[in-house]
Amino acid sequence: MSNLQSLHWHIFPDANTVAQQACQKILTAARQAIAARGAFHLVLAGGRTPEACYRYLSQAQADWQYWHLYYGDERCLPVGHAERNSQMVQTAWLDHVAIPAQQHHIIPAEREPETAARQYSQLIVPVLPFDLALLGIGEDGHTASLFPDHQYLPAPHWTHAVYNAPKPPAERVSLSVAALSSTRQVLFLITGESKQNAVKAWKNGKDLPISRICSEKETAVYIDQAALSIPK
């Protein structure tokens, strides 16, 4: 089922503004979650715009001791590899703030994908729903490591072992549509001309993994002008 009717679109002039505004939204969500429930559970995304957002967060003031971080997906690469999402987040953000290391919940993707997916599922289920999940969209319409035209196990599976991904590395671990929808808020961050065709397909109702994700309360899209423009 498409989530288009429940999306709130916010259009910004450029990618840097998207990252700045996303940073502010995350900080607001964190304050609200900590006030209401004593903790903030955030799902992180990879990519350039999320990375820029994390750099803004690294300069912010927050009650970091109450933050718990998770990942929408991870590449099956060795620990510390530069192409892992967790390594990017560590460098851009976590090296600069006081989030306790035991609250940085990394997908053990250095292991065999099925094992890593099973272990991560056991970790996340007790904390669902998340407070906020960050997601992007790839040029082919994928989100997290959920790729168009791939078959995934149906709900209630919370994680997937991904093989034969159309972009390297071929092996990955991803949260499922069910897990990414088990969150109070979803925030899609989309920037750049290269995303135009994927956004157009999404808005036109193509059956993409991204179109099946819808949060419990608010699903927002922060997008820049370049990504929203229709190609000539």
pLDDT in tens, 1-27: 446 658 999 999 999 999 999 999 999
Q: Which residues contact 173 (CB under 8 A, 6 or more apart)?
A: 73, 74, 76, 107, 109, 113, 116, 117, 120, 145, 159, 160, 161, 162
What's the confidence (pLDDT) of residue 229?
77
Structure confidence by residue, pLDDT tens digits, 57-103: 999 999 999 999 999 999 999 999 999 999 999 999 999 999 999 99
The H or E element containing residue 119 is helix 113-124
Structure confidence by residue, pLDDT tens digits, 190-205: 999 999 999 999 999 9
**Token pair listed for 118:** 């099973």
Smallest CA-to-CA distance from 72 within 209, 216, 223 is with 209
Q: Which residues contact 201 (CB under 8 A, 6 or more apart)?
A: 141, 208
169 cis-preceded (ω within 30 degrees of 0): yes
CB-based contact 44:69 (threshold 8 Å): yes
Ranges 31-40, 111-120, 222-231: which has the least confidence: 222-231
The pTM of the whole model exceeds 0.75: yes
Mean pLDDT, range 132-142, rounded to an integer: 95
Mean pLDDT, range 103-125, rounded to an integer: 97
Q: Is the dihedral of CA 145, 114, 180, 68 positive or negative?
A: negative
What's the confidence (pLDDT) of residue 1?
43
CB-based contact 39:65 (threshold 8 Å): no
Report residue 127: phi and psi, to 5°: -100, -5
